[in-house]
Structure 1
Amino acid sequence: MKVKVITFLIFSSIVPYIYFPYYISYLSITTNSETRKTSTQSEQCEPDIAPFYIYDLPDRFNMMLVISNCSSVSSWFNICPYLDNRGMGQLFSKSNWYNTYQFTANMLFHARAVNHPCRTYDLSSARIFYIPLYASLFVHWFGNEKNLTQREAVWVDFLNHISRLPTFQRHGSHDHFLVTGLMVWDFIHSPGQKEGELRLNDFLTFPQLANVSILTIERNAYSDAKNQCSIPYPSYFHPQLKSEITMWQDEVHRSERTHLFSFVGGARPPGHIADKYRLAVISQCNRTESCLLVQCKYWGSVWDSGR
């Protein structure tokens, strides 16, 4: 019997660690039996969310980078403070606001999934399987490795591990998903790119992942890959209760706002696909006194202030 299973795309409301809006992804799964209730499925588990199983991956695929190697993950800056609180980062002075790094969605997802009421520890009752790989941290970690083969050794190791599991093979991995935490462009080797370019790798082109649902930032809209699903960047705001969301919304509604604000992002080098759009907006702003361009120094005090 073929069924459509709704993944819980984590990030729901009342949780001890994280909040994100619900996002829905559909996985086609072939199964021969009805979903069985397990002791882990309490009344809090919504009926339209499938029971899911979290793989207990070896630490080298996720927690090792956080616990042992966070200081060496990135050669550009110390990423350790941004990995605090299961990926939310360090707490700002204001309650529920954290210095959240934009590429820790996979850590946030994992932390939410661990305590989700629809999680099951019974492989036979699971309808979907979550692979808690911290792919974004690996891209930072091996980003300066010039040899593409060595750069992708971690992917080969991971895929060799996961593809041997009976549950991965059972339905051709159609019932599996993972969160990358980075843009899809960081996992695809485009034809015009050279092997020596930093951060380049071919993770999403490996055949073992062809049927796995990939939750990623900025999916490849130019490809016919149907297994990619876009998710938003994490925000600084991580309320624990729905009432805290309402309080913040009420505060925003009451606030007197006299200025329009738009995020453009940094200018890109000539020839970049986003150069003409960003540069056009920046140039327009600079040509009038009614527009103020706020330049945030990368990883500087303004960036980390959350304001």
Structure 2
Amino acid sequence: MTDRSAPPRFALNHMTVPGLDMAGLFALARRLGMNEVEIRNDLMEDGSPGKGDIRTVPADEARRLADEAGVTIISINALQRFNEWTPARAAEAAELADYARASGAKALVLVPVNDGTGQADGERQRNLREALEQLKPILAERGLIGLVEPLGFEICSLRSKREAAEAIADVAGENVFRLVHDTFHHTLAGEDAFFPELIGLVHISGVADPALTYAEMRDAHRVLVNEKDRLDNTAQIRTLLAGGYDGPLSFEPFAQEVHDLKEPEREITASMAFIRRSFAKAAA
């Protein structure tokens, strides 16, 4: 049973510190008091493999590094365009799922088409259900969870957690799929539903720039959560925990100013402290 008085716990997504290799990511997580991490296949903006990217680290090496550091790999991020199912996508899904199983990762993040295509009513629902049906055996055979992550951008083919939840139910996928609640995308989508019972992972990041409208916000604006946050991360976190979510809050800022931090450990520690203070104040 969830202890709703317990403070939130945190995880570290490699996108927070893409300049670190995988061993460096795991070591930083432990210094921060975390034992859960997310690894990625998209660390470099130009598409080339980063030094900690799973494309440059064999799965057995990732498992060894995680075991030595005492961390759990909670997900691999990500199978892109998962709801545009093709033979190539099927092959990519199987390859990523094989890596996840061999590395000891628990889940595979599933990211939808985000280029303005596949948005038509009827079309997007069919595409989503087809992809989930095809992914079910790939994931189930390897003992993995598929983490469906709606994106709030206006051009995205899957913006709504409600649509994702309905599709998961329609394909009887509750044992294989969970949702990602991303505080940035939840805000941009204008969605008021949380579905804490279906959430398998929470991504957190803030936007501090006061000049941006929600429609103008992009990944490049996503920073560590602090007192200037415009996304009301702390209220979202409280709602999720009160609803029964008991998983980690995984830091996932994309802003270059975060990636360039000379002392990321200090800044991430400050963000955790801010969130914990806000949580404790609300609970008092």
Q: For the superposition of Structure 1 and Structure 2, which TM-score range results when normalised by the shorter chain?
A: 0.3 to 0.5
TM-score by length of 2: 0.34
TM-score by length of 1: 0.32
Q: Which one has a bigger Cα radius of gyration?
A: 1
Instruction: Choose between structure 1 and 2: higher helix proportion.
Output: 2
